[in-house]
Chains A and B, each alone.
Chain A
């Protein structure tokens, strides 16, 4: 597992975000995302965790502070590559699963043959290779989310940003996707920043949890989850997991009290 000494992939320094309507979503946010880690941002709604993710993605400009990409210069791939998974699957309903996953490559003018191979590999990774020609609405909610993840993976991103991707799914599907996501992460070694409001999900998935407090959104506490990978059903029912969940839950409760 990545030691704390892993190089930083992206760092936020003193980041603040105030929306035009005067709401302060973030103030003085300090966050360092390290190469190869699975980092969860955990917090109550309104703590700005999604806003932080959008700022990292470049979809939103910080009103204060800075975002730095230390390795950008030697990336050699024309800048940092980001995959983003939204809370909803956010698929184009008018076209097939294949074309949905192809989209990032198409927008980057990747040659069709090469792109088709990448799409097949990404669909294979999420177990949907047989559904290439299906339309999104012919799939279940969990399968749509898998397509969304395949689309995020198809560019082989250095950083995968996930904004409460499983919040709308039932628990059974969610557990399954948690397991599968960890498998993908271990296979690809992509850095993941995962936004969630579920203590259990964050403990199961992460190396590190950043607990955020609201009004204004800021980092409240940081917990290292040292349990070894691979984590599976045994881990989910272990005393160690329960203990980690309790610690994290306590930290979240304090964050919510502080954010009052």
Chain B
């Protein structure tokens, strides 16, 4: 007889252990290929050299990481407030939705890489980078919140009508709680996109020669053929992305674990 909780535990261990083993194998092969093939660091740096660079350039890269993260978080927060706020306005005032929704879509479908240089012309650089982070992160929040606000149980809506609920009461006690899983889903997407927006704008600004974010470091290191530093900065960006994703997943889990299918334990 197999113990089900032991099996579940076993599954969790594998889910953590297997990716780590894969990573170790790849790093080992990478290191071996670079050493055996005598590949110069400006073509492909070995993982050990990337780690050394990360430590040596630590203070510089750390400062740049904070700059990029700050922009990302600001862009994310503005996107969260703007996206949820606008979706609520759209939901309450149909005419506003008809008037503005197409432009929200245009904002989304226009590639941010193409918009960034223009923004850099019209706005001071930090503001332009922030605007890029906001533009890409904003739409998923808007779209998901809109979907969530329109997904309320019709019988519950009838119940609210029966008890003479005001529009405000329906919004606050019914629509927003019902939309919460959708909003959190949108925020999870927005977190990653906000980082992408910030990076794209920094790269665009980097070629103009100003800035200190992590993406700017990558662009700068590229011009100098400092490939190990490019990898080190890239590694930090990836880690930042992962942290953002899991932090938002945690928020999602904490908010929904008591009631929503998506966050429940499998065992019942």
Q: Tell me which residues from 41 to 83 in chain B have a Cβ below 8 Å from any Cβ of chain A.
A: none
A103-B163, A108-B163 in contact; A92/B177 too (CB < 8 A)? yes
Does B159 make an interface contact (CB < 8 A)? yes
Stretch in B129-137, B150-158, B245-253 with 4+ CB within 8 Å of A? B150-158
Whether B165 lies near A107 (C-beta < 8 A) is yes
Q: How many A-B residue pairs have CB under 8 A?
A: 50
A58-B162, A59-B158, A90-B156 in contact; A107/B259 too (CB < 8 A)? no
Whether A90 lies near B159 (C-beta < 8 A) is yes
How far, in whole Å, are A232 and B148 apart by their CA atoms in the complex? Answer: 46
Q: Which residues on B sit within 8 Å (CB–CB) of A92? A: 156, 174, 177
Whether B259 lies near A59 (C-beta < 8 A) is no
Whether A84 lies near B159 (C-beta < 8 A) is yes
Q: Mark A137-161, 1 if CB is under 8 A from B, else 0.
A: 1000000000000000001000000
Whether A59 lies near B162 (C-beta < 8 A) is yes
Q: Which residues on B sit within 8 Å (CB–CB) of A155? A: 163
Whether B156 lies near A82 (C-beta < 8 A) is no
Q: Which residues on A sit within 8 Å (CB–CB) of B224? A: none
Smallest CB gap from B165: residue in A: A107
How far, in whole Å, are A86 and B160 apart by their CA atoms in the complex? Answer: 13
Does A136 make an interface contact (CB < 8 A)? yes
Does B258 make an interface contact (CB < 8 A)? yes
Whether A95 lies near B164 (C-beta < 8 A) is no
Q: Considering only CB atoms and an 8 Å cut-off, how many residues of chain B contact the other chain? A: 21
Whether A93 lies near B164 (C-beta < 8 A) is no
Contact for A94 among B161, B163, B177, CB less than 8 A: B177
Q: Which residues on B sit within 8 Å (CB–CB) of A95? A: 177, 259
Does B207 make an interface contact (CB < 8 A)? no
Whether A107 lies near B177 (C-beta < 8 A) is no
Q: Mark A216-249, 1 if CB is under 8 A from B, else 0.
A: 0000000000000000000000000000000000
Whether A135 lies near B177 (C-beta < 8 A) is no
Does B112 make an interface contact (CB < 8 A)? no
How far, in whole Å, are A107 and B160 apart by their CA atoms in the complex? Answer: 8
Q: Chain A interface (Cβ within 8 Å of chain B)?
A: 54, 57-59, 82, 84, 86, 88, 90, 92-95, 103-104, 106-108, 135-137, 155
27 contacts between A and B (CB under 8 A): A54-B158, A59-B158, A59-B162, A84-B162, A86-B155, A86-B159, A88-B155, A90-B155, A92-B156, A93-B260, A94-B177, A94-B178, A94-B258, A94-B260, A103-B163, A103-B173, A104-B163, A106-B173, A107-B160, A107-B163, A107-B164, A107-B165, A108-B163, A108-B164, A136-B259, A137-B259, A155-B163
List of 8 A-B pairs having minimum Cβ-Cβ separation, nearest first: A90-B155, A107-B163, A93-B259, A94-B177, A86-B155, A107-B165, A104-B163, A94-B259
Q: Chain B interface (Cβ within 8 Å of chain A)?
A: 153, 155-156, 158-165, 169, 173-174, 177-178, 180, 258-260, 264
Besides A84-B158, A84-B159, 16 other A-B contacts (C-beta < 8 A): A57-B162, A82-B162, A86-B158, A88-B155, A90-B153, A90-B155, A90-B159, A92-B177, A93-B260, A94-B177, A95-B177, A95-B259, A106-B173, A108-B163, A108-B164, A155-B163
